[in-house]
């Protein structure tokens, strides 16, 4: 399936840190925005690093797991509809940007200390 990219500008803002390991972020795409908390979690697949996204406000029913395999952006997964359909999404893009900025903590991978 062909990869569809949004033509709308996307902006990621860090709004705060409710707990030491949790981020509160806003993603605005065009004139629509969403608030999310992002917390590290143990990867469902047992590999890589993973974060749980929980929507707030209008997006309160949204809950996704975003996983990054390896040290770079070569492999990853989000369980949202957009990523399942197109192979990329705003959640994965935001995680990769936050990792590059050094703003995210990772949950320990099972079997590692």
In this prediction, residues 42-69 reach a mean pLDDT of 82
For position 37, what pLDDT does the model report?
Answer: 95
Query: What sign does the CA torsion over 87, 53, 101, 70 have?
Result: negative
User: Taking all residues of the chain, what is their mean pLDDT, rounded to a whole number?
Assistant: 81
Instruction: Give the pLDDT of residue 51.
Output: 92
Write down the pLDDT at residue 113. 38
pLDDT bracket for residue 28 (50, 70, 90): very high
The structure's pTM equals: 0.79
Which tokens hold the place of 44? 């469902």
């Amino acid at each position: 399936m062909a990869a569809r990219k949004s033509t709308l500008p996307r902006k990621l803002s860090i709004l705060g840190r409710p707990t030491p390991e949790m981020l509160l972020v806003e993603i605005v795409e065009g004139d629509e925005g969403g608030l999310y908390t992002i917390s590290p979690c143990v990867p469902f697949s047992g590999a890589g690093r993973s974060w749980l996204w929980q929507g707030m406000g209008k997006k309160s029913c949204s809950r996704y797991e975003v996983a990054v395999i390896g040290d770079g952006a070569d492999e990853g997964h989000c369980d949202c509809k957009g990523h399942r359909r197109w192979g990329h999404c705003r959640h994965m893009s935001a995680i990769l940007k936050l990792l590059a900025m050094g703003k995210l903590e990772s949950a320990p991978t099972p079997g590692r200390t």
